[in-house]
Amino acid sequence: MANIEMDKIVAHCKNVGFIFPGSDIYGGLANTWDYGPLGVELKNNIKKVWWQKFVQERENSYGVDCAILMNPRVWEASGHVASFSDPLMDCKECKARFRADNLISNYSKGEVNPDLMTKEEMSSYVQEHHVPCPVCGKSNFTPIRQFNLLFKTQRGVTSDNALDIYLRPETAQGEYVNFLNVQRSMRAKVPFGIGQIGKAFRNEITPGNFTFRQIEFEQMEYQFFCHAGDDEKYYEEFKNASKEFFISLGIPAEKLKFHDHDKLAFYAKAACDVYYQFPFGWDEVNGIHNRTNYDLTKHQEYSGKNMEYLDPVTNEKFIPNVIENSYGLDRAILAVICNAYDVETLPDGEVREIMHLSPKIAPFKVAILPLIKRDLSEKAHELFRELAKEFRVTYDETGTIGKRYRRQDQIGTPLCVTVDFDTLEDNTVTVRDRDTMEQVRMPISELKSYIEKIIK
Ligand code: GAP
């Protein structure tokens, strides 16, 4: 695989319809992106794989879809109002703004870990080492200020009775506050899990490496409620599940690694991220956290509702521990795209852009291509209508067949089905494989099961 630069991937995503800059015709809005016709298919397919693994295939597993706007007490209980913040410094010369921790880790090339430093220690480090501003090169920064990442808005008609509320910065709290509702309505027994996929919002000011860091993004989070004595066992199980998930999206194991947190929150027993080897370096795609029973205990304290679970067998009453599995959907998509995109030189010297997407998540499973438009499009459209009942299919009748194959390679369509004159006689078609470019002839009646086999 060629060494692909991020710029090339960003341009490709825009050109072929995966991801566009947000509010493009107005010059964009920093750190926002829109998924295009192919991106939305890829996104939905990845959500489906995640939901199947965590919600559908696990026993005692339930889904929810909670409100984005929650009672602001939720964010006081969770600690986000008081301490969900980044340490920021402004360059006094060029006015650019940076996260102090990023300045230090970039300057020290990862040798120094700012997660282990206090605010004062980070300030001193920047001063003592004359860390330069990445924009203007001078070293003249303001002191560090903590900048809260919560997006605040107001509920209410007039400003004097308006209530400050927040766009959720994570989906997890919806799962915690519904612990009792889910447990009772589903008669769930601990251990059980609650999964949710949805939008989250953070007022990130630092540049984002394409969709890696956005102000509006999607999370897939799964909270597993268990007995205190079982937490370590489940923590290990979910660590393994996280790698399995990314591998099932087609990402090779050698491009994934665990990264244990250097500094744990005071209540946490263990925390680990999965890192993927992006073109811009190794970085986090998900997190697995052993959060003890801190979250439910805090919600009990702030809401005044008893969050205890009564074990029907032992009659023991306890607040369950939580193993949190937090996946950034956009980062999973970005990892998949970076992994799939390639520029290949074929044996005849021709160069092709290709996306080696796993057929399971490819936006289109099949492209229907009539060899020539005039006489064959009716039969090809008929085939499109038949297959579209089962699969996401695309249709292309413009340009030479070679150019059409290349267009499908570019967007990762695993199979191209060519309708030719023999098709009119004997109802057979040619099926071409994206990766090997090999072609087989088969009856239309066998197509459906062939495609299903490829997807599985
Ligand atoms: N509930 C725990 C939680 O939210 P986190 O590590 O802050 O933990 C979890 O976020 C995941 O969400 C990250 O691993 C990442 O994949 C994704 N994520 C976080 N901030 C993001 C951002 N600004 N843009 C895109 N994805 C983000």
Task: Kindly state the average pLDDT of the residues 199-206.
Answer: 92
Residue where the block lists tokens 């026993």: 59
Residue where the block lists tokens 């939720």: 74
Cβ–ligand 1 contact at 214 (below 6 Å): yes
Other beta carbons within 10 Å of 12: 19
Cβ–ligand 1 contact at 326 (below 6 Å): yes
pLDDT of 228 higher than 60: yes
pLDDT of 385 higher than 60: yes
Q: At a CB cut-off of 8 Å and minimum separation 6, what does 303 contact?
A: 73, 77, 177
**Sign of the alpha-carbon dihedral angle for 224, 228, 233, 236:** positive
pTM: 0.94
Q: What token pair was written down for 213?
A: 């860091």
What is the tens place of the pLDDT at every residue in 391-421?
Answer: 999 999 999 999 999 999 999 999 999 999 9
Mean pLDDT of the chain, nearest integer: 95
Angle at which helix 6-16 crosses helix 401-411, to 10 degrees, equals 120
pLDDT of 294 higher than 60: yes
pLDDT of 207 higher than 80: no
Q: What token pair was written down for 362?
A: 């490819």
Q: What integer pLDDT is reported at residue 169 of this predicted model?
A: 98
pLDDT of 1 higher than 70: no
**DSSP E strand stretches across 122-226:** 145-148, 151-155, 163-167, 192-201, 216-226
The atom of ligand 1 lying closest to the CA of 170 is 4
Cβ–ligand 1 contact at 330 (below 6 Å): yes
CB 216, CB 201: distance < 8 Å? yes
Region of residue 210 (left: phi > 0; alpha: psi -120 to 50; beta: else): left
Task: Kindly state the average pLDDT of the residues 200-215.
Answer: 90
Measured in Å, residue 201 CA sits from the centre of ligand 1 at 10
What is the tens place of the pLDDT at every residue in 257-293?
Answer: 999 998 898 899 999 999 999 999 999 999 999 999 9
Cβ–ligand 1 contact at 321 (below 6 Å): no
Q: What token pair was written down for 330?
A: 């956009």
Strands 415-419 and 366-370: parallel
The atom of ligand 1 lying closest to the CA of 169 is 4
What is the tens place of the pLDDT at every residue in 141-190?
Answer: 999 999 999 999 999 877 777 899 999 999 999 999 999 999 999 999 99
Strands 309-310 and 33-35: unpaired
Q: What integer pLDDT is reported at residue 3 of this predicted model?
A: 63
Q: What integer pLDDT is reported at residue 160 of this predicted model?
A: 73
Task: Kindly state the average pLDDT of the residues 194-199.
Answer: 98
Amino acid identity for residue 135 in this structure: V
Which one, of 392, 396, 403, lies nearest residue 357 by Cα? 392
Residue 349 three-state SS = coil
Task: Kindly state the average pLDDT of the residues 46-75.
Answer: 98
Q: Which of 284, 285, 294, 298 to mutate to test the pocket of ligand 1 (most atoms within 8 A of CB)?
A: 284
What is the tens place of the pLDDT at every residue in 309-362?
Answer: 999 999 999 999 999 999 999 999 999 999 999 999 999 999 999 999 999 999
DSSP 209-231: TGGGS-SEEEEEEEEEEE-GGGH
Q: What token pair was written down for 99?
A: 């996260």
Residue where the block lists tokens 């004997």: 426
CB 290, CB 269: distance < 8 Å? yes
